[in-house]
């Protein structure tokens, strides 16, 4: 159950703040369309795919856009979640998939000329940011890689320039026009791509950060309502952070910055973790994790609650607890590559770049042509409970290396900070949490999953004292049902979310047959429960589904009328925990579902 308290007081508060000139921050939907394809090592005429996060489940369609992607991929939607334009680092295309006016070519040069038909191969080589206070205008930041024929090591290439372009979508019958392009920001030796951004503490402007090639140096830019400002270089420490293939990312709350490089098979991998000040743009408290698992492809993403970083390292997936006192000690492996490959044996679906999705999951692609993405279904949870699923997201096309590069658009102002100067407030918080439990010790670890919360009060439902920790661990004296309530607050309002948990109930009842993917939503549910089963060929043949109570008694049975899709009306059932079982010619999947 979910309750919202102090509604009258909250309404009066919002009306008063609006009258006093306050603006309530709104999360942008700029990242709700993802594009994939089309270059393939095996199928040169392959097409594109579009992933639409405006629907649940996510809708994936095939199309022929003409633009080919390699590693560089950036796109943007408007406030209505409609695709506006995108780039492969070579040109800029409108939503009609034709070159935008004055966008036929960016990054001209000896090196990029060789990639015109394929797309720029720089990882995180582009990112699009909405221009503050300018509706319909966007800034595109992109890297230029330059060929050097007289280098002492022979012919090679480096990223020597960070540039930007300005796009106005109000022009050319709202198909957009590139107003300016090839505007140089840095002319120096930079790391390979790794363009990323986070919102300024004022809730409107943006910090853009890129690493240098040599040493632990970073360059910062500020995008505000007047344009782009060079905020200078920052040097953190001599901790021997190295350049290389990988990604950089900010945590969704903007407080952490991670630079991950896979330098070489011989020299290993380097993960630099820093604190970030959203007011000043300064990096501090650098910590370095080094290891060597022979990875030559690498990526990083952070859970939406900011607790866990995921390091995709070719054949291994690691997790880091960013709240740990010693983050190096928290670095541990949660999955190994399962050996699956595509129709051609060398096209293995190993692990490469990672990106947080609009619905809170993390998608990971492969460092070659593949028709599948991997997914971390519950990134807010620790260890294997995060539910990493290999080749779980099917694409209708061959995808060569690409994964779109987005900032986190859900970050609002840093309320009460020195740079909270624009009278922008976060919206009222939305309380939510996830949990895992050690059934033998009756210990439950709770993970806050709320939005816009600044303070937390946990009621564990057993009469014990409440907790104000962000992610508490609570030990119960005995097993049984407890209603746990989390109350969160910020300067705008208060919200409470309550959920019945069943302490001591074993998780061994959860099962998924090999080669099958199960999706259950919404969970918890008050009325209709949807269950979908898929395998690598598509929907799975389902004969019937059962719902049992915790005593094993059958409370609902429904015969399947369609391949792989089931909808159960559970509105008449009492609130509580149930076990679903899905059958075909055998048991295909089982798991827990909560009826509210």
378 and 445 inside one domain: no
467 and 550 inside one domain: no
pLDDT in tens, 161-215: 899 999 999 999 999 999 999 999 998 888 889 999 999 999 999 999 999 988 7
CA 443 to chain centre: 29
User: Is the residue at 413 inside a domain?
Assistant: no
17 and 30 inside one domain: no
The span from the CA of 557 to the CA of 163, in Å, is: 60
pLDDT in tens, 514-565: 778 888 888 888 899 988 887 756 567 788 899 988 766 789 998 876 667 8
Averaged pLDDT, 566-594 = 87
How many angstroms separate the first and last alpha carbons of the chain? 6
The span from the CA of 436 to the CA of 445, in Å, is: 5
Q: What is the pLDDT of residue 481?
A: 76
Q: In the structure encoding, which two tokens stand for residue 532, read together?
A: 């979908």
- Given a cut of 80, whether residue 233 has pLDDT beyond it is yes
- Given a cut of 90, whether residue 485 has pLDDT beyond it is yes
Cβ–Cβ under 8 Å, residues 427 and 415: no
Of 503, 534, 549, the residue that ends a domain is: 503
6 and 126 inside one domain: no
- Most confidently predicted of 55-64, 227-236, 289-298, 584-593: 227-236
Q: What is the pLDDT of residue 295?
A: 87
473 and 544 inside one domain: no
* Banded pLDDT at 47 (limits 50, 70, 90): confident
Q: Under 8 Å CB-to-CB from 419, ≥6 apart: which residues?
A: 200, 201, 202, 278, 279
Percentage above 70 pLDDT, the chain: 90
User: Is the residue at 416 inside a domain?
Assistant: no
Q: What CATH number does residue 277 fall under?
A: 2.130.10.10
Q: What is the pLDDT of residue 45?
A: 55
pLDDT in tens, 97-112: 999 999 999 988 888 8
Q: Under 8 Å CB-to-CB from 553, ≥6 apart: which residues?
A: none
Q: What is the pLDDT of residue 84?
A: 97
pTM for the model stands at 0.84
- Given a cut of 70, whether residue 4 has pLDDT beyond it is no
Of 477, 503, 529, the residue that ends a domain is: 503
- Given a cut of 50, whether residue 10 has pLDDT beyond it is no
475 and 512 inside one domain: no
Q: Is 8 helix (H, G, I), strand (E, B) or coil?
A: helix
11 and 40 inside one domain: no
User: Is the residue at 573 inside a domain?
Assistant: yes
Q: What CATH number does residue 464 fall under?
A: 2.60.40.10
* Banded pLDDT at 155 (limits 50, 70, 90): very low
Of 503, 525, 555, the residue that ends a domain is: 503
Picking from 156-160, 264-268, 282-286, 450-454, which range would have the lowest pLDDT averaged per residue?
156-160
- Given a cut of 90, whether residue 494 has pLDDT beyond it is yes
User: Is the residue at 409 inside a domain?
Assistant: no
User: Is the residue at 338 inside a domain?
Assistant: yes
120 and 200 inside one domain: yes
- Given a cut of 60, whether residue 15 has pLDDT beyond it is no
Q: What is the pLDDT of residue 473?
A: 97
Q: What CATH number does residue 545 fall under?
A: 2.60.40.1930
Decide which of 330 and 581 is more confident.
Answer: 330
- Given a cut of 60, whether residue 154 has pLDDT beyond it is no
User: Is the residue at 414 inside a domain?
Assistant: no
Count of the separate structural domains present in the chain: 3
User: Is the residue at 410 inside a domain?
Assistant: no
User: Is the residue at 234 inside a domain?
Assistant: yes
135 and 239 inside one domain: yes
| Average model confidence (pLDDT) across the chain | 88
Q: What is the pLDDT of residue 333?
A: 96
Averaged pLDDT, 151-157 = 52
17 and 54 inside one domain: no
Domain carrying residue 127:
26-400
216 and 259 inside one domain: yes
The span from the CA of 294 to the CA of 284, in Å, is: 29
- Given a cut of 70, whether residue 450 has pLDDT beyond it is yes
326 and 442 inside one domain: no
The residue ranges of DSSP E strands in 365-510, in sequence order, are 369-376, 388-400, 424-425, 433-438, 443-448, 455-459, 473-475, 480-489, 494-503
pLDDT in tens, 383-422: 999 999 999 999 988 888 899 999 999 999 999 999 999 9
């Amino acid at each position: 159950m979910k309750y919202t308290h102090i509604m009258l007081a909250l309404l009066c508060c919002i009306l008063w703040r609006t009258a006093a000139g306050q603006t309530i921050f709104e999360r942008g939907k700029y990242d709700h369309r993802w594009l994939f394809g089309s270059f393939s090592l095996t199928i040169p005429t392959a097409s594109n795919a579009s992933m639409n996060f405006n629907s649940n489940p996510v809708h994936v369609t095939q199309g022929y856009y003409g633009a080919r992607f390699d590693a560089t991929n950036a796109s943007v939607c408007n406030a209505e979640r409609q695709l506006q334009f995108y780039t492969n680092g070579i040109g800029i295309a409108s939503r009609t998939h034709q070159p935008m006016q004055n966008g036929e070519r960016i990054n001209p040069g000896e090196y990029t000329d060789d990639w015109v038909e394929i797309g720029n191969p720089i990882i995180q080589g582009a990112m699009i940011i909405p221009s503050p206070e300018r509706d319909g205008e966007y800034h595109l930041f992109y890297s230029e890689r330059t060929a050097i024929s007289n280098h002492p090591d022979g012919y090679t290439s480096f990223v020597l320039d960070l540039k930007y372009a300005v796009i106005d979508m109000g022009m050319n019958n709202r198909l957009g026009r590139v107003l300016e392009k090839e505007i140089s920001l840095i002319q120096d030796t930079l790391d390979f791509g790794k363009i990323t951004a986070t919102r300024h503490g004022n809730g409107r402007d943006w910090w853009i950060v890129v690493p240098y090639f040599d040493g632990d140096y970073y360059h910062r830019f500020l995008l505000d309502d007047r344009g782009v400002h060079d905020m200078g270089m920052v040097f953190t420490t001599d901790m021997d952070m190295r350049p290389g293939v990988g990604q950089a990312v900010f945590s969704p709350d903007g407080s952490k910055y991670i630079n991950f490089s896979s330098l070489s098979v011989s020299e290993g991998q380097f993960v630099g973790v820093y604190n970030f000040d959203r007011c000043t743009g300064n990096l501090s408290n650098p910590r370095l994790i080094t290891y060597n698992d022979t990875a030559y492809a690498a990526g990083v993403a952070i859970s939406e609650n900011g607790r866990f970083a995921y390091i995709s390292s070719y054949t291994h997936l690691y997790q880091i607890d960013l709240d740990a006192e010693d983050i190096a000690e928290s670095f541990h492996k949660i999955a190994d590559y399962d050996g699956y490959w595509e129709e051609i044996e060398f096209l293995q679906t190993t692990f490469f770049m990672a990106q947080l999705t609009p619905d809170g999951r993390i998608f990971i692609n492969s460092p070659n042509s593949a028709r599948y993405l991997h997914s971390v279904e519950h990134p807010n949870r620790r260890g294997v409970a995060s539910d990493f699923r290999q080749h779980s997201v099917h694409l209708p096309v061959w995808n060569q290396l690409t994964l779109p590069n987005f900032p986190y658009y859900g970050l609002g102002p840093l309320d009460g900070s020195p740079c909270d100067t624009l009278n922008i407030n976060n919206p009222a918080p939305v309380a939510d949490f996830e949990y895992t439990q050690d059934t033998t010790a009756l210990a439950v670890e709770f993970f806050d999953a709320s939005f816009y919360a600044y303070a937390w009060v946990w009621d564990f439902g057993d009469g014990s004292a409440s907790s104000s920790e962000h992610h508490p661990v609570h030990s119960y004296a005995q097993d049984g049902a407890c209603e746990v309530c989390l109350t969160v607050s910020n300067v705008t309002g208060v919200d409470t979310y309550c959920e019945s948990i069943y302490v001591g109930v074993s998780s061994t009842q959860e099962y998924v047959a090999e080669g099958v993917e199960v999706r259950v939503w919404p969970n918890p549910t008050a009325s209709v429960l949807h269950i979908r089963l898929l395998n690598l060929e598509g929907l799975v043949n389902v004969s019937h589904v059962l719902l049992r109570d915790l005593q094993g008694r059958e409370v609902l049975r429904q015969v399947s009328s369609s391949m792989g899709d089931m909808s159960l009306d559970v509105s008449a059932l009492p609130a509580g925990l149930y076990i679903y079982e899905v059958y075909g010619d055998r048991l295909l999947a089982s798991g827990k579902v909560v009826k509210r």
